[in-house]
């Protein structure tokens, strides 16, 4: 039974009515371009074939009642009053999307069933998958025109203003607009994206360290604040600078005397990382997989040493991946502080890679892990559901 059909069936059992709409959205891996999106820079994400489905129906009252399969919890949500501080649980993300959508048009009360499918807290953007799948299902249920780029902005606003995570737009835009078979070379300022065909003879293996992280308890927001501080300081030398995307290595070196050592390291990562998405795209397009792997390795080193968002478990898993002959390169993916890494692996070597690297990582880390190959998938879509 397809995942969306199963979610529809469980919705009926939970709420006793038929869903008006079932929609799904993918998780994502960011191939490279980490912590660049909120600096208006460049990234190379791809949606993955791990999807989260959401089913909705209208209610006779104005309440929003949501159930999350992953947590076995049902909650009635406050989506109309002033937003509280929030605990950044799954229900806060659901409430935040309703608040952001309601700012644009009146919404009815709704029942919401949130399925599973995207690992939570692993750095593959389960939050954006939830936000976009929910927005897609609600739009279908109320007959609203679906504008994927606009809804990515709405979902980002939901997370920024109502959840309290100052994320960029990369995750939401990928979940909303991705296409099967391609990665997106994304300009996070203009939101323009070019498609990069993903080669058939290599694969991306996601390596879940088994260590969960929460952006609410990490230094994610602090990293963004440091970037904004650097921009303010650099503007004294170059008034036209709007974001770190506008700063090159020479300008950053000139501004070094205005910055403390930590701020300089953070900015150095972003400035250098902004060039890596285009470099990786060029390597993949030309079949230079050694060059592609080198870009991944360089990114991980920068994230570990300059931006300081890696972790011992992420470092171990990447070390073990690189030691395998089928691996071209590896790096952490997502915000860091735990979660997943990715490896670029020869397609024919995936099985041996997983069978070899996973137990080696677990023996060093004493953590249960999950390794799985992913392929580029479509963005949000309304699912056809067969009655059961």
Neighbours of 353 (CB within 10 A): 23
Judged by average pLDDT, the poorest of 114-128, 301-315, 346-360 is: 114-128
Provide the residue ranges of all domains of the chain, joining segments of one domain with +. Answer: 1-30+45-217+279-388, 220-273
- Going from the C-alpha of 85 to that of each of 67, 153, 163, the distances in angstroms are 21, 21, 8
CB 30 within 8 A of CB 170: yes
pLDDT(387) > 60: no
Judged by average pLDDT, the poorest of 51-55, 286-290, 323-327, 338-342 is: 338-342
Position 84 scores a pLDDT of 59
CB 307 within 8 A of CB 267: no
Structure tokens at 203: 């694969």
pLDDT(124) > 90: no
> Can 201 be counted among the known catalytic residues?
no
Position 1 scores a pLDDT of 47
Position 309 scores a pLDDT of 94
Strands (E), the chain: 21-32, 42-58, 64-68, 73-77, 110-114, 182-187, 193-197, 202-208, 327-332, 340-346, 370-374, 381-382
Share of the chain above pLDDT 90, in %: 84
Which is it for strands 64-68 and 110-114: parallel, antiparallel or unpaired? parallel
Residue 359 or residue 161, greater confidence: 359
Position 122 scores a pLDDT of 72
Per-residue pLDDT band for 388 (boundaries 50, 70, 90) equals very low
Per-residue pLDDT band for 2 (boundaries 50, 70, 90) equals low
- CA 123 to chain CA centroid, Å, is 6
Measured distance CA(163)–CA(92) in Å, rounded? 6
Position 121 scores a pLDDT of 72
Position 334 scores a pLDDT of 86
Residue 337 or residue 233, greater confidence: 233
Helix (H) or strand (E) run with residue 314 in it: helix 312-322
Q: DSSP secondary-structure letter at 255?
A: G
Per-residue pLDDT band for 89 (boundaries 50, 70, 90) equals confident
Q: What tens digit of pLDDT does each residue of 181-223 get?
A: 999 999 999 999 999 999 999 999 999 999 986 544 457 788 9
Position 217 scores a pLDDT of 46
Position 36 scores a pLDDT of 96
Measured distance CA(236)–CA(251) in Å, rounded? 11
- The runs of H, that is alpha helices, within 120-244 are 126-142, 148-157, 170-177, 220-234
Helix (H) or strand (E) run with residue 289 in it: helix 289-305
CB 281 within 8 A of CB 303: no
Judged by average pLDDT, the poorest of 1-5, 63-67, 189-193, 289-293 is: 1-5
CB 347 within 8 A of CB 328: no
Position 337 scores a pLDDT of 85
Neighbours of 146 (CB within 10 A): 15
Position 329 scores a pLDDT of 98
pLDDT(86) > 50: yes
Position 216 scores a pLDDT of 47
The per-residue pLDDT of the chain, averaged, comes to 93
pLDDT(359) > 90: yes
pLDDT(85) > 60: no
Q: What is the dihedral of CA 91, 213, 129, 319, to 10 degrees?
A: -170
Helix (H) or strand (E) run with residue 91 in it: helix 90-102
**CATH no., domain 1-30+45-217+279-388:** 3.30.230.10
Of 37, 62, 78, 171, which is the active-site residue?
171
Structure tokens at 64: 């929003």
Q: What tens digit of pLDDT does each residue of 272-302 get?
A: 999 999 999 999 999 999 999 999 999 999 9
Tracing tokens 């390597």 back to the chain, one arrives at 283
Position 230 scores a pLDDT of 98
């Amino acid at each position: 039974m397809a995942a969306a059909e199963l979610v529809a069936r469980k919705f009926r059992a939970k709420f006793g009515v038929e869903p008006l709409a079932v929609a799904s959205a993918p998780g994502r891996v960011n191939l490279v371009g980490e912590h660049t999106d909120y600096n208006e820079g460049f990234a190379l994400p791809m949606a993955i074939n791990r999807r989260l489905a959401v089913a909705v129906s209208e209610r006779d009252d104005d309440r929003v009642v949501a159930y999350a399969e992953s947590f076995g919890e049902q909650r009635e949500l406050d989506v109309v009053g002033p937003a509280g501080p929030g605990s950044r649980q799954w229900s806060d993300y659901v409430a935040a999307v309703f608040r952001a959508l309601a700012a644009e048009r009146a919404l009815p009360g709704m029942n919401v069933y949130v399925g599973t499918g995207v690992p939570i807290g692993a750095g593959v953007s389960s939050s954006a998958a939830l936000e976009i799948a929910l927005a897609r299902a609600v739009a279908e249920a109320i007959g609203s025109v679906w504008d994927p780029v606009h809804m990515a902005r709405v979902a980002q606003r939901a997370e920024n203003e109502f959840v309290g995570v100052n994320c960029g737009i990369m995750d939401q835009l990928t979940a909303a607009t991705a296409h099967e078979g391609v990665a997106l070379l994304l300009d996070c300022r203009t939101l323009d994206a070019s498609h990069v065909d993903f080669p058939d003879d290599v694969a991306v293996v996601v390596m879940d360290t088994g260590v969960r992280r929460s952006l609410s308890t990490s230094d994610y927001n602090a990293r963004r604040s440091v970037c904004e501080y650097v921009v303010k300081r650099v503007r004294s030398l170059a008034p036209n600078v709007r974001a770190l995307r506008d700063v090159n290595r020479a300008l950053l070196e000139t501004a070094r005397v205005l910055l403390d050592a930590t701020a300089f390291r953070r900015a150095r990562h972003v400035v250098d990382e902004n060039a890596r998405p285009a470099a990786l795209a060029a390597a993949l397009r030309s079949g230079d997989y050694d060059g592609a792997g080198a870009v991944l390795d360089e990114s991980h080193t920068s994230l570990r040493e300059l931006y300081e968002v890696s972790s011992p478990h992420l470092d171990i898993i990447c070390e073990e991946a690189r030691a395998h002959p089928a691996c071209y390169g590896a790096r952490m993916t997502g915000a860091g502080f735990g979660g997943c890494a990715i490896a670029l692996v020869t397609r024919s070597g995936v099985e041996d890679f997983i069978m070899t690297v996973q137990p080696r990582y677990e023996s060093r880390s004493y953590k249960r892990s999950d390794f799985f190959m992913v392929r580029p998938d479509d963005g949000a879509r309304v699912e056809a559901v067969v009655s059961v």
